[in-house]
Structure 1
Amino acid sequence: MQVSWNCIRRDPASDPSAPAVVLIHGFGANKDHWRHNQPALAEVSTCYAIDLIGFGASSQPRAQLTGEAHHRNHFSYSFDSWASQVADFCREVVKAPVVLVGNSIGGVIALRTAQLISQRCSGVVLINCAQRTMDDKRLHEQPVVMRWLRPSLKALVRQHWLSRSLFRNAANPRVIKQVLKQAYPSGSNVDESLMNLLQKPAQRPNAAEAFRGFINLFDDHLAPTLMTNLKVPVDLIWGEDDPWEPLQEAQRWASRLACIRSLEIIAGAGHCPHDESPEQVNPLLLRAVEKAKNI
């Protein structure tokens, strides 16, 4: 499968001991979502931004759902599969110690990748990491009616006609603008460039497949479980006004998980503070790279 990425090489005068940085986008985004971060990080480290399979300019194979007949050209849109993609990228392309930075589901992928590459990982930064409240393992937290409806919901979203219809609606420019109003509460950096980077990949022929795979992901990795025995330090960066991933949950993680080194809160920012408030987030990312040099 084809994997697309951007790479900005470190300044020749920068510290050669700095690890490389690999940036992992969230659901529906792509490598260009790091437009305001990658150049700043490249001042101190070689910085890569990767398109996950199903997004951006990477391959968009048909979704392989659990229980369906296996097909070698299909892809299981799961955290293990995406993490394996990133781990292979680190081994085959980066070929150096890395700091993994992930936003939203990219955070869960970063944590799983850190497990897979072990000593090659010098640190992880989670930016508004996905909490996955609808996972089966968290079903007991949901209202009784949701628990009762879950089997019917699972059967329904497996249908191609429904996933395609839902995707067409989600990829509508007016819907994207409404979602961005929620995700970027300050409205900062919600511009034509952002709209284009979200819309263009969604117009590719198989763009709906990653959507179908993801909405059928009911039982997969949870971030706290992945961090329970993680051997590398984790830094949390959180937009205070995230409408989907509450800050309170991140604060609980920070109080209970030994691997978490810091929690930095970005006031006024939402789900994507790296793009909404890069002037606040970039210094924190640079600090994480600096700390990783000593590991």
Structure 2
Amino acid sequence: MTTSINAFTTAKTWNWQNFPISYHTQGNNGPAVILVHGFGASSWHWRKNIPVLGANCRVYAIDLIGFGASAKPEPGKEITYTIETWGQQVADFCREVVGEPAFLVGNSIGCIVAMQAAVSNPDIALGVALLNCSLRLLHDRKRLTLPWTKRFGAPILQRLLSIKGVGNFFFRQLAQPKTVRKILLQAYADSEAVTEELVDILMKPAKDPGAAAVFLAFTAYSSGPLPEDLLPILPCPAIILWGTADPWEPIDLGRELANFPQVQKFIPLEGVGHCPQDEAPDLVNAILQDWING
């Protein structure tokens, strides 16, 4: 890892349901903030945000179970990988480690996790910031709105990947530096933000025992809550940031989430892709600081 990734404190471990959970923290004063990464990412995806936010806040970036340096127990036997599971993990972390209500900040599927944590545990959330929230377009309840190729193709692919040998082969092909870089270049509008460091951040946990099983379990997961299920019952205010160049979560669909009364602001980030906290950290950090201090 390069020096920039070690610019803040080393990883700490919290024991949750007898599984080790990795997290990073910085800052001793100010409100608490919990950062929740997206699918396949980790707390390191917030490396450009933690030092800045930690100057005036107590910042915590957590590795969801199954990702990063956290435990990767066997799906279906030791744990179920669902939005509800991760939401409870974040809520328990807030109570047991943070020790007070916090602002929750998520990216992609981490937005759904943050909202689920707040909805199921209203006492832990001061507010929620959603960065390019996953719209879960392959959800069972949304497939009818998709083009026929995706409507029928996705379930077929899911069934194929559920075959252990096929799934493991697919994961091995996917978890290659060239493939990861190619995917990142789709997700990021600014190709210069796709560095060797970023590729390494995503590659390292993929080599852990159990990583393939977690990945395949999530690709087969087409149920659970949608953002439009959670936003109307969110017990705290929310803001939404959205990169206009996101190829995976179209901003035109994202704007519809701003119609819920819990959403105080919808802020488009011009020319930014799916992971604005990493691609445009200066812009995102300033918005989050204003929101937290407001």
Q: TM-score, normalised by structure 1?
A: 0.89
* 2:122 maps to 1:104: no
Q: Contact (CA 8 Å) 2:161, 2:170: kept in 1 or not? A: no
- Alpha-carbon distance between aligned partners in 2 of 1:153 and 1:200, rounded to the nearest angstrom: 26
Matched ranges for 1:129-278 at <5 A: 129-144=133-148, 146-148=150-152, 152-254=156-258, 256-278=259-281
Q: Contact (CA 8 Å) 1:63, 1:77: kept in 2 or not? A: yes
Q: Contact (CA 8 Å) 1:238, 1:265: kept in 2 or not? A: yes
Q: Which structure is richer in relative contact order (CA contacts within 8 A, separation 6 or more)? A: 1
Structure 1 residue 164, shift from structure 2 partner: 1.1
Q: What is the CA RMSD across the aligned residues, in angstroms?
A: 1.5
Matched ranges for 1:75-94 at <5 A: 75-94=79-98
Q: Contact (CA 8 Å) 1:189, 1:276: kept in 2 or not? A: yes
Residue 241 to residue 149, structure 1, CA distance change in 2 (3 Å): closer
* 2:72 maps to 1:60: yes
Partner SS state of residue 141, structure 2: helix
Structure 1: gaps of 5 or more residues: 12-17, 65-70
- Alpha-carbon distance between aligned partners in 2 of 1:152 and 1:175, rounded to the nearest angstrom: 22
* 2:22 maps to 1:4: yes
Matched ranges for 1:2-81 at <5 A: 2-10=20-28, 18-64=30-76, 71=77, 74-81=78-85
Structure 1 residue 192, shift from structure 2 partner: 2.1
Partner SS state of residue 2, structure 1: strand
Partner SS state of residue 128, structure 2: strand
- Alpha-carbon distance between aligned partners in 2 of 1:24 and 1:269, rounded to the nearest angstrom: 19
Residue 150 to residue 237, structure 1, CA distance change in 2 (3 Å): closer
Q: TM-score, normalised by structure 2?
A: 0.90
Q: Contact (CA 8 Å) 1:163, 1:211: kept in 2 or not? A: no
- Alpha-carbon distance between aligned partners in 1 of 2:152 and 2:212, rounded to the nearest angstrom: 28
Structure 2: gaps of 5 or more residues: 1-18
Partner SS state of residue 7, structure 1: strand
Q: Contact (CA 8 Å) 2:27, 2:56: kept in 1 or not? A: no
Q: Contact (CA 8 Å) 1:97, 1:122: kept in 2 or not? A: yes
Structure 1 residue 221, shift from structure 2 partner: 1.0
Residue 99 to residue 198, structure 1, CA distance change in 2 (3 Å): same
Q: Contact (CA 8 Å) 1:25, 1:51: kept in 2 or not? A: yes
Partner SS state of residue 104, structure 2: strand
One-letter code aligned to 1:109:
V
Structure 1 residue 61, shift from structure 2 partner: 1.0
- Alpha-carbon distance between aligned partners in 2 of 1:156 and 1:193, rounded to the nearest angstrom: 32
Partner SS state of residue 4, structure 1: strand
- Alpha-carbon distance between aligned partners in 2 of 1:144 and 1:193, rounded to the nearest angstrom: 38
- Alpha-carbon distance between aligned partners in 2 of 1:152 and 1:130, rounded to the nearest angstrom: 22
Q: Contact (CA 8 Å) 1:160, 1:212: kept in 2 or not? A: no
- Alpha-carbon distance between aligned partners in 2 of 1:122 and 1:38, rounded to the nearest angstrom: 19
Residue 151 to residue 191, structure 1, CA distance change in 2 (3 Å): closer
Aligned identity (percent) is 38
Counterpart of 2:284 in structure 1 is 281
The one-character-per-residue Cα deviations of 1:199-243 (angstroms, maximum 9, x if unpaired) are 111111211121011111011110111101212111111111001
Residue 149 to residue 188, structure 1, CA distance change in 2 (3 Å): closer
Structure 1 residue 128, shift from structure 2 partner: 0.4
Structure 1 residue 189, shift from structure 2 partner: 2.5
Residue 223 to residue 279, structure 1, CA distance change in 2 (3 Å): same
Q: Contact (CA 8 Å) 1:8, 1:38: kept in 2 or not? A: yes
The one-character-per-residue Cα deviations of 1:105-150 (angstroms, maximum 9, x if unpaired) are 0000000011122022100000001001110011220234554566
- Alpha-carbon distance between aligned partners in 2 of 1:3 and 1:151, rounded to the nearest angstrom: 32
Counterpart of 1:68 in structure 2 is none
- Alpha-carbon distance between aligned partners in 1 of 2:146 and 2:138, rounded to the nearest angstrom: 8
